[in-house]
Amino acid sequence: MLSPNNYSITFACYNAVEYTKKCIASFAATGTPLDRVVIVDNCSTDGTRDYLQTLNLGGRIFNSANMGCGVAWNQGALALQSEWTIVMNNDVVVCGNWIENLIGTAKRLDLKVISPAMIEGDLDYDFKKFSTDACTRLSTVERRGDRNPVCLAIHRSVFMEAGYFRAETKLMGYEDILFFNALRFNKIQTSITGASWLHHFGSITQTLLKQERGMKQSDSLAARANSRLLNQSYFTRKLNKVRRNKQQKMWRDAEVAAHEMSLRGERVNGQFNWH
């Protein structure tokens, strides 16, 4: 059995306190120990800080400004160091045994970075019932080489080999892309597993930031110049994107054919769309 001392959980938050409450409620419902959770608040103004003060957390960090995800994730990971660090969003709810299944699968497959399967969109369905069934039906299904930035279980050796997240405020959501690039450079394998699931409401923090800045939701918060940090040509980036999309389709088609569902889904108008 996995000991809580073997892992820690961290996420950053910026306003959207109602989603943080949903996340914490799902932790409580699934027996996820809050004393293994470090929450980093990036200068919220909506009552988030007052709410965090009521929780018996493993740690809470209050930044004096919005430092961005990279800084916050590093702060959380370093505040409660353990064999496995789960870096995740606050706008999610988790399923039963999500950590045990996630890290247990990583150990079984000898992986150092692993993500759960995910449904995005409206939570207008019985997620507990859905995830119980999905974890059983797709427990051995994986997408080797894929990853989900919404939730990553990261072994401590990864930080030593590939480094932590790029800690620059101007990256504004590009931190995960740079981290995945570092994983590829260091030949660190990733995977998504169907043994663990979460529901993601859908980039709530980025939506709020775009609204504050008067941006369209289709706009990117990250500067275009950030792509230069990958040290890849425009052609290479486009070719890699085409290859990823092709592989995603192959995974989806194979999973739907075998299980009538896949490891990535979206809830739209009361229906599941599989990706």
Cβ neighbours for 143, distance < 8 A, ≥ 6 positions apart = 191, 192, 251, 263
Q: pLDDT tens digit string along 13-54?
A: 999 999 999 999 999 999 999 999 999 999 999 999 999 999
Distance between CA atoms of 96 and 108, rounded to whole angstroms?
A: 19
Backbone angles phi, psi at 53, to 5 degrees: -65, -20
Q: pLDDT tens digit string along 51-109?
A: 999 999 999 999 999 998 999 999 999 999 999 999 999 999 999 999 999 999 999 99
What is the fold of 4-225?
Spore Coat Polysaccharide Biosynthesis Protein SpsA; Chain A (3.90.550)
Question: What local confidence, expressed as pLDDT, does residue 206 receive?
Answer: 58
Domain ranges of the chain: 4-225
What token pair was written down for 233? 């040509």
Distance between CA atoms of 102 and 95, rounded to whole angstroms?
A: 11
Query: Is pLDDT above 60 for 144?
Result: yes
Question: What local confidence, expressed as pLDDT, does residue 243 receive?
Answer: 92
Q: pLDDT tens digit string along 207-255?
A: 555 455 555 555 454 556 677 777 778 888 888 889 999 999 999 999 9
Question: What local confidence, expressed as pLDDT, does residue 241 receive?
Answer: 87
First to last CA, the chain: 33
Q: How confident is the model at residue 128 (pLDDT cuts 50, 70, 90)?
A: very high
Question: What local confidence, expressed as pLDDT, does residue 220 receive?
Answer: 52
Question: What local confidence, expressed as pLDDT, does residue 204 receive?
Answer: 56
72: left (phi over 0), alpha (psi -120 to 50) or beta: alpha
Q: pLDDT tens digit string along 155-206?
A: 999 999 999 999 877 766 788 999 999 999 999 999 999 999 999 998 655 5
Q: How confident is the model at residue 9 (pLDDT cuts 50, 70, 90)?
A: very high
Residue 180, SS3? helix
What token pair was written down for 72? 């916050």
